[in-house]
Amino acid sequence: MNISELARKLKVTTNQLHDVLPLMGIDVGKRAVKIDDTLAHRVMKNWSQYSSILKKQRAVQETDKTAQEQPHEKQTVRLPHIMTVRDFSVLLNIPVTKLIQVLMNNGILAALNEKIDFDTASIIAEDLGFIPEHETGETIEEAVSGTDIIKETMEKEQDALLPRPPVIVVMGHVDHGKTKLLDSIRKTNVIAQESGGITQHIGAYQVTKLFKNTGEEKTLTFLDTPGHEAFTTMRSRGARIADIAILVVAADDGVKPQTVEAIKIIKAAGLPVVVAINKIDKSDANLDRTKRELSEQGLIPEDWSGNTICVPISAKQGIGIDELLEIILLVSDMEKANIMANPHGETIGTIIESHIDKHEGPVATLIVQNGTLHKNDYLVIDNVLYGKIRAMKDYRGKLIETALPSQPVKIIGFKAAPVVGYIVRATGALGKGFESVEKDIKRSAAASIVVTPRIIEEESAETSSVNIILKTDTLGSLEAITNALTKIDHPEVKVKIVSRDIGAITSTDILNAEATHSFIAGFHVTAGQSALQIASEKNVEVKLYKIIYELIDDVKERIEALLSPEIHRVILGTLSVMAIFRTDHASMIIGGRVDEGIIEQGARTQVMRGGERITEGKISKIQSGKQEISQAKSGQEVGIAFDGKPLIQRNDILQTYKDERKKRTLE
């Protein structure tokens, strides 16, 4: 009998039944799906004397629930402007491993000695039941506004602000043509360099466009965000440093889940949006349907009496691209009061990509948001000296000496790869009081392997897990993949990232994987020959990926392989019992008529009476007249030898069946 069916008969939940069974001397295990019929009848027979225990348990649970719902005084915690994860855990008086897990669940990838700001810490503290307060006595609102360095700088230099090129972020659903649109704008073939047609990393590019109305040439900066849902974090960051958003929607596919997600990000960032309805050259393109679906998301087109500008384009054919750029220039002209910077002021920029190059070392792409970046400038993040600019390259790979506001630039000279989204200050003269980043590098390297495995030990022993050691080429990819993996959740099987880092797969990773029973997932990285040899000797699985969603799908398949299968009982035939001819100790001879389906010799059989299952057994022989047959069909009257408990009565129904095992999926 199914455990769930027995629970329904006893009018309790499956979990409650599992709790009481051991008290009755029956231990089928927490994950058991079925229970032997004999044991099931014993449970039903003796349930009344054990149900009182369950009532007491319920009473205790209700008391605990009531106690939890009672308002209790929250503890106030005073937080500094900047702190390490370790110091934050000490202030909250909670284990650092638990805090790292909470940070990961909120999409924040932070090692033991990595710094987080008050804004982030206050949100996490509130989630954990604390009242955060800035240690200077500021309110949360005051402290949060103090972390907005760029806004603060703009306000100080308001009188010296000049127009700068607008930064346009391109967003939308995967495969709707975002990269092809940029390809068409820049007249370069970017797609050929991307795996599977999907942009793997954030990139920024600049184009110069002649404005027809004034005859003036204007520069536009385009921020290309990856299309797959795994890059939600990257897309959000892209929206925060942009001035205008282009939402790409395919006319033949309409609004999709990632389109809706992009719309939410754009609205949250308060960006003006222009919708590019792409692929209008396709035979199944439907502009009206696409506009209707956009309207349902609050983006009502102008020709439908709304405020959203929709431009039909074909990125592949180059149709409507000039019109789209004209609209972008028009929108940027309307927003010009907000698109300003001081090229002679303090130099500030935001990291939009970061990785370690085997020839150039740690490199990062930065968009200048104020001031002018110069070669040989010192780079400071959160009062930590991250290096000195040895070389700068523009988006075409050309070496440059200076970078102006809104200009994307690749910087060589970092001593450590900065985290995507970090705000960088640049200065020509290095003052005192800056901490060296080398100390953080050493501490983070030591912590990267030992921090996360402790989280595993805190999980329930009853839960299976897929253990992963993650290595990627860039911090942006590392964060995006980690964010996607932490969202994969199932009560039976957990995803556990044992360690994560950027760079090639090493022998240390192999030994770590062996010790923690993990597989190694490498994204756009390689594994040395010695590492692969050790992996072969230690029987450690190493898998390399070039497309993020292939990595995510592979992890999902591994989870599904660990899920216990669903058992589906398929009824093959039914027979109505018309007569009882003989009853023995463990068998019966009966007569009956086949109502539907087929009754086969050797088939497993359940006996039903009034809709309830009485017992189970097997049909050992079928006889029609005096002749033994292998199967009986609908309408036949036959004699049957039933092997099983002799509980069958006239008018009972015999059902022959087979149990099919169905693989479970995360959906």
Q: What are the tens digits of pLDDT across the range 74-99?
A: 788 888 777 778 788 888 888 877 88
pLDDT of residue 64 exceeding 60, the answer is no
Distance in angstroms (rounded) separating the CA atoms of residues 146 and 331: 30
The segment with the largest mean pLDDT, out of 60-64, 331-335, 352-356, 400-404, is: 400-404
343, 315 in Cβ contact below 8 A?
no
Mean pLDDT, rounded, for 68-77: 64
pLDDT of residue 228 exceeding 60, the answer is no
Pairing state between β 216-224 and 203-211: antiparallel
Would you give the DSSP letter of residue 225? -
pLDDT band at 225 (very low <50, low <70, confident <90, very high): low
pLDDT of residue 609 exceeding 60, the answer is yes
Residue 310 burial (CB < 10 Å; 0-12/13-18/19+)? buried
Q: What are the tens digits of pLDDT across the range 162-221?
A: 999 999 988 888 778 888 888 888 774 454 555 555 454 547 888 887 766 667 788 899
pLDDT score recorded for residue 28:
67
- Cα 581 to Cα 577, 592, 606, 647: the distances in Å are 11, 11, 19, 13
Instruction: Give the CATH fold of the 165-338 domain.
Output: Rossmann fold (3.40.50)
Structural domain 440-562, CATH architecture: 3-Layer(aba) Sandwich (3.40)
Distance in angstroms (rounded) separating the CA atoms of residues 406 and 593: 84
Q: What are the tens digits of pLDDT across the range 542-594?
A: 999 988 878 888 998 898 888 878 788 889 999 999 999 999 989 999 999 99
pLDDT of residue 456 exceeding 50, the answer is no
Residue 575 burial (CB < 10 Å; 0-12/13-18/19+)? buried
pLDDT of residue 481 exceeding 60, the answer is yes
The pTM score is 0.55
pLDDT score recorded for residue 375:
93
Would you give the DSSP letter of residue 2? B
Mean pLDDT, rounded, for 316-332: 90
Both tokens of residue 630?
């292998």
pLDDT score recorded for residue 56:
61
Pairing state between β 464-472 and 399-400: unpaired
More confident residue, 347 or 16: 347
pLDDT score recorded for residue 657:
92
At the fourth CATH level, the homologous superfamily of domain 341-433 is Translation factors (2.40.30.10)
pLDDT score recorded for residue 358:
67
Both tokens of residue 628?
């033994």
pLDDT of residue 454 exceeding 50, the answer is no
Please report how the helices 96-105 and 85-92 are oriented relative to each other, as an axis angle in degrees rounded to 10.
110
Sheet strands (E) in 345-407: 347-357, 361-370, 373-374, 378-381, 384-393, 399-400, 402-403
Distance in angstroms (rounded) separating the CA atoms of residues 390 and 437: 17
Q: Which of 52-56, 120-124, 558-562, 590-594 has the lowest mean pLDDT?
A: 52-56
pLDDT band at 25 (very low <50, low <70, confident <90, very high): low
CA dihedral 232, 238, 242, 248 (to 10 degrees): -50
261, 578 in Cβ contact below 8 A?
no
Q: What is the mean pLDDT of the chain?
A: 80
Label residues 457-473 b or e (16+ Cβ within 10 Å = b).
Answer: eeeeeeeebbbbbbbbb
pLDDT of residue 485 exceeding 90, the answer is no
pLDDT score recorded for residue 312:
95
Mean pLDDT, rounded, for 638-646: 93
Distance in angstroms (rounded) separating the CA atoms of residues 462 and 152: 51
466, 558 in Cβ contact below 8 A?
yes
DSSP state letters, 475-543:
HHHHHHHHHHHHT---SSEEEEEEEEEES-B-HHHHHHHHHHT-EEEEES--B-HHHHHHHHHHT--EE
pLDDT score recorded for residue 107:
60
More confident residue, 588 or 127: 588
- Residue whose token pair is 């975002």: 178
522, 544 in Cβ contact below 8 A?
yes
More confident residue, 601 or 40: 601
Q: What are the tens digits of pLDDT across the range 245-283?
A: 999 999 999 998 888 888 888 887 788 999 999 999 999
Phi, psi dihedral angles at 117 (to 5 degrees)? -90, 175
For the chain, residues classed under CATH 2.40.30.10 are 341-433, 566-662
Instruction: Give the CATH fold of the 566-662 domain.
Output: Elongation Factor Tu (Ef-tu); domain 3 (2.40.30)
Q: What are the tens digits of pLDDT across the range 526-545?
A: 888 888 998 998 899 999 99
More confident residue, 391 or 195: 391
pLDDT score recorded for residue 361:
78
Longest dimension (CA), the chain: 109
Distance in angstroms (rounded) separating the CA atoms of residues 82 and 157: 25
For the chain, residues classed under CATH 3.40.50.10050 are 440-562
pLDDT band at 148 (very low <50, low <70, confident <90, very high): low
pLDDT score recorded for residue 61:
59
pLDDT band at 449 (very low <50, low <70, confident <90, very high): very low
Please report how the helices 437-458 and 96-105 are oriented relative to each other, as an axis angle in degrees rounded to 10.
90
Distance in angstroms (rounded) separating the CA atoms of residues 500 and 112: 13
More confident residue, 319 or 72: 319
